[in-house]
Amino acid sequence: MDVFEAVRTILAVRSYADRDIPLDVVDRIIESAHLSASSMNRQPWHFVVVQDRDTLRELGTAVTTGPYISGAALAVAVAVERESRFGMSDASRAIQNMMLTAWSEGVGSNWAGFGGLDDAASLLGIPDSYEVVAVIPFGYPDRPLGVGRKNRKPLGEVVSRERFGRPFGG
Ligand SMILES: Cc1cc2nc3c(=O)[nH]c(=O)nc-3n(C[C@H](O)[C@H](O)[C@H](O)COP(=O)(O)O)c2cc1C
Q: What is the DSSP letter of 16?
A: B
The closest alpha carbon to 87, from 36, 50, 124, belongs to: 36
The closest alpha carbon to 50, from 132, 142, 129, belongs to: 132
Q: Cβ distance 121 to 142 under 8 Å? A: no
What is the atom index within ligand 1 of the atom nearest the CA of 151?
27
CB of 112 sitting under 6 A from ligand 1? yes
Number of structural domains (the chain) is 1
CB of 111 sitting under 6 A from ligand 1? yes
Q: Cβ distance 69 to 63 under 8 Å? A: yes
Note whether residue 163 is domain-resident: no
pLDDT of the chain, 170 residues: tens digit per residue: 899 999 999 999 999 999 999 999 999 999 999 999 999 999 999 999 999 999 999 999 999 999 999 999 999 999 999 999 999 999 999 999 999 999 999 999 999 999 889 999 999 999 999 999 999 999 999 988 877 688 999 999 999 999 999 999 86
Burial of 74 (0-12, 13-18, 19+ CB in 10 A): buried
CATH number of residue 141's parent domain: 3.40.109.10
Domain range for 114: 3-158
